[in-house]
Each structure stands twice: as C-alpha cells, then as structure tokens.
Structure 1
Amino acid sequence: MPSVAVVILNWNGKAFLEKFLPSVCSSTYGNLDLYVADNASTDDSVAFVKAHYPQIKLIQNKYNNGFAGGYNAALKEVEADIYVLLNQDVEVAPGWIEPVIAQMQQDPNIAACQPKMRAYHDQERFEYAGAAGGWMDILGYTFCRGRILYTTEVDHGQYNDAQDIFWATGAALFIRSACFREVGGFDDDFFAHMEEVDLCWRLQRAGYRVMYCPESVVFHVGGGSLPQGNPRKLYLNFRNNLMMLWKNLHSEDRWIVLSQRFFLDLLAAVKSLAAGKPKDMMAIFRAYRDYYKWRRKYVKKDTLPEKKLLAISGVFHGIMIWRYYFLNRKKFSDLNK
C-alpha cells in the first residue's frame, strides 16, 4: 500500500477549513498523512488548525507565492509515495482515495490522476475546474469532459469511463512524488492558474500518463481565492496559457499556434470592450505585455524531449471555440459531431 499525503494549500481559508476538513479527516485510506500548508495567511487559519486538528501536520510558508510556489515550497517537507494536492474549498466523498490509488497501481506509468469533480452547490452538475478530466485543443484552449468554457453538464454517468486526459485538475491532483520531482514540480513563474496544465504537459513529454478516475468523487466550491469574472484571474489565465504554450509546444508548431492565438485573443479583448468590460480588455493586454517581458528573459528549465501536440493524449484535433460559438457544440460529447 503506497504512502499517501493529502496536502491542502491554505490562504486565508479558515471558513473553508472549518467546513471541509471533517470530510477529509474521515478518509479511510490506511497509509495516509494529512497536511495543511499555510501560504502566509493573515486570518487565524493556523491557530484554528492547531487548536482543532492536532493530528494534521502543519507547514507554514513564509510568503504567499501563489499555488505554484506555495506547493513547491511545502512539498519539500512532505515524504510520501503519492501526493494529493487538495484545494481548501473541496469536500470529499467517502472512499475517495482508494479507487484512484488502485487505478494508479495498475500501471506505474500513470504519473497523475484526478477524481470526478462535481459542484458543491449543485452536486449533480460537473464543476468548472476539473469536471471529468482536462483536455486541450490544437490552439491551447483548455476545457474538460463535462465543461466547455462556462457551460457545465449535469452528470448522468456519461463520463464514467476511466480515460487518459491531457491535464488533471490542481484542485484534487493525485501525483507520484517521484514524477513531480523528476519534471521539476510546478513552474513558480505561473503563481496561480494553468500551472497544473503545464505540469501535466511536461509529464506527458516525459513519457508518463495522466488519467481520470470516475469512481472517486469530490465536490468543489470554486473561486475560493479568485472568483470567476475577476480581471486578475483573467490576466493570469491568458498570461500563463501563453507561457505554457511557448515552453511546451514543439518548435515546429510554436509560431503557427501562437500567431493564430494572437488574433483570437485580440478578438476576445475587443469583445470584452464591446460588452462593457474594459477591465477585462486591459487584463488581456497586460497579459500579453507581461508574457513578452517573460519571453525575453526566459531560460529553458527542463531537458524533456519535444513532442508533437497531436501525439499527446487528451488533445482535441480541432478548434474548440469555433465548435462552441459557431456550431453550437456546448457539450464535450458533441464536439466531434
């Protein structure tokens, strides 16, 4: 039975910890340690954990370096065969760990895996951040089985098959610690958003598999740190997506993809302005400005082999936003029709 460490990265999340730690502490897996990694919170989260959950190991980061830097720092202090990175705003169903570990044990080449993610406030519906596993299209737009853009599906069992995916959600990410270290962990430059997609892409470039396990279910509130519609969130998503593409695309594909993305993102900025959201438009422009600044000083951090995008699991061989907006394909199962 491999050792498992559930590590909850917390930032000013006392209310979430009060609500959701009981479900995590009820986990029945036999070889389990629980951690709260506090990311320099300014509320009384740390005092709450110390007073009410002495069985939970506490890691206190000196600074708030976001999701990526926070986990990189915290996991240096965690010894386990498999890390489970769990958001502070997630409730877990009974027996949520065992099926994922069983699936990963079937093939040592499975480096990462995610459970089925449903919405906490609408528990029959898939949740935005992970749904039934993450995919990406040929232009780098990310989506999920069960969630395309902001359209989420009701779970009728339509995605109850275990499947290779492109990326596993960072809100409930099972990952072999050896694989996490082998590919260099998260990229600190990302701070937050898209860092798990970048990590899973690097895992696939290294020859590993990323999978979805439908027998495990968790419920995610979402927007615990930055809610949907926040210009800061939009900025990070655009900037980090561009950084990820530059880092991971095969050199033969990089300029083709990024040149097309430039025009589509410009269209998104104009659309935001037309919709009366000038802050969103400026967030996209700032994302491009900072992406170009980052690119000028970028030094390649990994030595992983290049891999053509269409050779990677979980890549949709088309343009998702075209199918969604112009062909009215709102469900994952309809994309190829």
Structure 2
Amino acid sequence: MIEPQVTIVVVPRERFSFTHESLESIYEYTDFPFKLVYVDGASPPHIQSYLETQSQLRNFQLIRTDYYLSPNRARNIALSYVSSKYVVFIDNDVVVAQGWLKQMVECAEETGATVVTPLTGEGQPVHERVHCAGGEARIIVQGEGSQAKRYLHAKLLYRGRRLKDVQSKLKRQPTELAEFHCIMVRTAIFEQIGLLDEELMNTKEHVDFCMSVIRAGGSVYLEPSAIVTYVPGSLLDWSDYHFYMLRWSDAWGISTLQHLQKKWNLTEDELGVGYLVWRRKIAIIKPLMLNLPFGQKSKLLQKILVFVDIIFNRFITSYYALNQLRHKKDSTSIRLYQHKAST
C-alpha cells in the first residue's frame, strides 16, 4: 500500500462547536489520498465522544489533551506524527470545496513551492466572500542609522470582496502571506527553520512563519483553484466561551507581541491589547447585550461589560497557566487514540 503524500492536521482555532461540519467537509470533498491527524485540545464531552467515534470509523489519528492549546502548540504536537512529503494545517472551523487538496499538491509539485495557500473565503454561505487571496508580509524600515525604525507589514489581498468578482483576476503566483486557516507545507522545511514558534500564542504566527520560510530560501504560492472557507460563528457552548477568551486573551497577546518584537527587532506593533479586547467585544459582549431585556445600546453598559471582561480574562489566563503547568508534569496528559491514519 502506497503511503499518501499528504497528512492533514486539524487543530482547534477558537471554538469547538463547528467540529462536525468541518471534519465532514474534509471527508466529503477531498478526492486525493491523505492521512489525517486530529488534535483535540480539551473539547467538551460531546465533541470528544464524536471525535473518538469518528477516529475509529474513519481510521484517523486522534490526539487528546485535557487542557486548551495555543495553535502553534497544537500543530507542533501533530508534527511528531507526520512523515509525509507535505503537511496541511487546517483549523477546526474551515469548510473545504471539491478538489481543494489535489489542486494544492499540483501547485507544489509544478512550482516547487514550500508553502501553498488556497483561496480562503470567510463566512456563510461558504465560498462566496474572500478572506485571503495571498498577501504581503515583510519588515519595513523607515529612517536610517540610529533613527531607523522597523515595522511589521502584513496585508491580506482582496479581503471582503465577493469571490465571483475577483476569481477571474486571480492566478497561481508567488505571494508573501498565507494564513493558518489552511496551508500546505513541504515538511522538509522544518529541518531548516525548526518547529513552529510556540511563543507566538495567538496572533501573527502566520506572518512569522511565512517570513521565516522566505528568509530560509523557500517560497509561498497562492493556488486560487483550491478553495476553502473559514466560518466564524456564534459561541454556542460554555467551552466555546472559555476557550475563546483564553485564545484571544490579553496575557497571550501581550506575550506574543513582545516576543515578536524581540525576534524581528521591531520598533512597535500597531495592534496591541486593544485588538484582542475588540475580538472579545464582537464575539461575547455585543451578543450578550442583544439578549438583554434592557440597555442593548447603552454605551455605559458596554464600558462596564468591557471592564468585567478584562478582569475575568485575567482570571481565566491565570487559572490556565497553573493548570497547564500541572499537566506538563503529567506524562499522560497527551493521549493518542489511533496509530494508523490513512484514507
């Protein structure tokens, strides 16, 4: 039996409630041989049960931790079980279109690309609005000598445009940016650049990765005939809220940005903590206000809830730090459910 060229690695992004739809789309619309490794970072019991059942039925490798995982940590755990020529990293809230994987492999084989990004959509209905069609990722230097300032420049191309309006303009071509919603990577690159940087816990890890690949002499290509869609949505379970608040926490964000600045010798970062508060405001605070019988448009109430969010966010991250430290000392904290993962 010939081993597949590709291992698909699914990791948690920011919620668990879209797990079923995402996994089913992979098996329904993928017509190219693959192995699958699924990393389950402390999903709630009903999701855990679903994944355990599916790993047996579909014969994929399931790795479970009893604590939440940052994205790069989850990807690195999975890389220990990847021996194929290519690895696809895909988030657990992504739906794929027919033929997506075959098109990405053909791009890599024909161009020698180190990284291939599909045309990534956003929202529902799926595959109708663009989230990312490649982009720009580089360091910009302003000034000279001791006055020089280094900034990180990252830009998604065609974001928010209707797919049918831009698809004819897109072609397979080199690009600087690919997002971890879904990317295919030539596995050998990790021998050059090492594993993914786990100190980048919740933002710009894709920018860091693409710049590291290009700095090592690799290339990033857009393959617009391969289409996937990232589906943000409502936080349906308590576990979604807890995980989301940690995933976009101030503590993880501050640590990430400080590390990124040191790593690339940057002057500053324009997003900061305000960006993370904004994400929680959109996903948690505004939906909460809409469900209240009073004060839905009250700016004062919104300010109070933002303040409560910041305090509660600190509690969650402190609790997580202690819990993770306990699990790191426990050799059984990572459980492997399945050893064969081909389809």
Please give the TM-score of this superposition, normalised by the length of structure 1.
Answer: 0.66
Does the CA-based 8 Å contact 1:11-1:40 persist in structure 2?
A: no
* Structure 2 CA distance for partners of 1:219 and 1:180, relative to 1, 3 Å: same
1:244 corresponds to: 260
2:137 is aligned to 136
2:76 is the alignment partner of 1:78: no
Quote how far apart the aligned CAs of 1:57 are. Answer: 2.1
Does the aligned pair in 2 maintain the 1:163–1:213 contact within 8 Å?
A: yes
Matches within 5 A, 1:1-337: 3-10=5-12, 15-53=17-55, 54-55=57-58, 56-61=60-65, 63-108=67-112, 110-123=113-126, 124-127=128-131, 131-136=132-137, 138=140, 139-147=151-159, 152-155=160-163, 156-157=165-166, 159-222=169-232, 233=248, 235=250, 236=252, 239-248=255-264, 254=265, 258=267, 261=268
Query: 1:12 and 1:202, CA in 2 relative to 1: closer, same or farther beyond 3 A?
Result: closer
Q: How many residues align?
A: 262
3-state secondary structure, aligned to 1:189: coil
- Rounded Cα–Cα distance in structure 2 between residues aligned with 1:63 and 1:31: 31
Q: Distance in 2 between matches of 1:226 and 1:196?
A: 24
Aligned to 1:244, the other structure's residue is in SS state helix
- Tell me how far 1:185 sits from its aligned partner: 1.9
Distance 1:12 1:194, change over 3 A: closer
SS at match of 2:129: strand
- Identify if the C-alpha distance between structure 1 residues 234 and 210 changes in structure 2 by more than 3 Å, giving closer, same or farther: farther
> Using a 3 Å threshold, how does the CA distance of structure 1 residues 162 and 134 change in structure 2: closer, same or farther?
same
**Alpha-carbon distance change, 23 to 122 in structure 1, aligned in 2, over 3 angstroms:** closer
CA distance in 2 between partners of 1:37 and 1:58 (Å) = 6
Q: Distance in 1 between matches of 2:86 and 2:46?
A: 29
Structure 1 residues 232 and 63 mapped into 2: Cα distance closer, same or farther (>3 Å)?
closer
**Change in CA separation of 1:12 and 1:57 when aligned onto 2, cut-off 3 Å:** farther
Q: Distance in 1 between matches of 2:154 and 2:241?
A: 18
Higher relative contact order (CA 8 A, sep 6+): 2
Counterpart AA for 1:153: R
What SS does the corresponding residue of 1:106 show, helix, strand or coil? helix
Q: Is the 8 Å Cα contact of residues 32 and 101 (structure 2) preserved in structure 1?
A: no
Q: Normalising by the residue count of structure 2, what TM-score does the alignment of the two structures yield?
A: 0.65
Residue type of the partner of 1:5? T
Deviation at 1:51, TM superposition (A): 1.9
In structure 2, stretches of 5+ residues that fail to align are 141-150, 279-298, 314-343
Percent identical across equivalent pairs?
A: 22
The Cα shift of 1:277 comes to 6.2
Shift of 1:13: 5.3
Residue 239 and residue 17 in structure 1: after superposition, are their counterparts in 2 closer, same or farther (change >3 A)?
same
Judged with a 3 Å threshold, the aligned counterparts in structure 2 of structure 1 residues 6 and 15 are, in CA distance, closer, same or farther, namely: same
Shift of 1:99: 1.1
Deviation digits for residues 102-159 of structure 1, max 9, x if unmatched? 1111233x211110011231542112xxx10132362214220013xxxx22221255
1:279-309 CA-partner distances (Å, limit 9, x unpaired): 59x98xx9xxxxxxxxxxxxxxxxxxxxxxx
Partner SS for 1:216: strand
Summarize the Cα distance change of 1:209–1:238 in structure 2 as closer, same or farther, 3 Å threshold. Answer: farther
Distance across 1 between alignment mates of 2:6 and 2:34: 5
Give the CA deviation at 1:163: 2.5
Instruction: State how far apart, in whole Å, the 2-side matches of 1:265 and 1:216 are.
Output: 31
Tell me the amino acid that sits aligned with residue 135 of structure 1. E
